[in-house]
Amino acid sequence: MFNLLKVEFYKLRHSKTLLGILLFCLLESILCPLLFSKMLIGKAVFTRVLGTQLFLGWFAIIAIFLAMYIGDEFSSSYSSGYIKNLISYGHKRHEIVIAKFIGTYTGIIIISLIAPVLITIINTFMNGYGEPFKVSSFVFALRVTILMIFIYIGIASIGIFMLFVSRNVIFSELAFVFIDPLNRIITLFAMKNPAIDRIYSNTIFGQVNTALSHNITLFQGLKVIIISLTTIIVSICLSIYFFNRADIK
């Protein structure tokens, strides 16, 4: 397992796709404060970017990362021999799956946090923080970051699971990107229909507003984490199940 993780982190460090995405995020971070100007400053910028990026191309960016980082490998290496060699070297199938998930999660965390952090720093230098820096502000930013990381990883787990099931990069990533408009539509219905809202509020997609809220209870915070962890665990377990059943030639 340790050797598998070493390989995954090595691939991550040398991933041109990840580097390209980070450069894009850097460019976005330089331009974005000009749009914010003095309308938003301080922690308001951080929470706004951390929350709204989910609806501003995050699905497409993550789909590209998944397709290039593990998509091609898991759609072709069943026949090219890479996965077969890993198994023949004594690595268990569930270990291969878990290592892939952990490596991918690391990349997703970096991608999801780089823009909010850089934009907040640049905006603060340009327009000021807007309030005296307090411990409570740091705790708030840390709490929002942790909860949103759980949500981002949980949502991305669905995309990874799609790859393991279909083993078709184009189909799985298009399906993952399609979640974005589907989520928007369901959100609109949830706003108008209490029954739909009760269901939606108990899915991972319905946890964003809670995670970004300034005042949440311990129960609400735990609910975000539990729903996210449930999504993650179910995605990993189902991926292991389908990978174990796969005919690797």
Per-domain residue ranges for the chain?
2-245
- The pLDDT-based confidence of 78 (bands split at 50, 70, 90) is low
Whether the pTM exceeds 0.85: the reply is yes
- The pLDDT-based confidence of 203 (bands split at 50, 70, 90) is very high
Average pLDDT of the residues in 82-101:
79
Q: What is the per-residue pLDDT for 73?
A: 61
How far is the CA of 130 from the CAs of 23, 115, 123, 138, 142, in angstroms?
Answer: 28, 20, 11, 14, 18
Q: What is the per-residue pLDDT for 125?
A: 80
Least-confidence region, from 40-54, 73-87, 198-212:
73-87
Instruction: For the chain, give percent helix, strand, coil, nearest 5.
Output: 85, 0, 15
Asked if residue 55 lies in contact with residue 180, where contact means CB atoms within 8 angstroms, the answer is: yes
Enter the tokens of residue 231: 């999504």
The burial of 94, by beta-carbon neighbours within 10 Å (0-12 exposed, 13-18 middle, 19 or more buried), is given as: middle
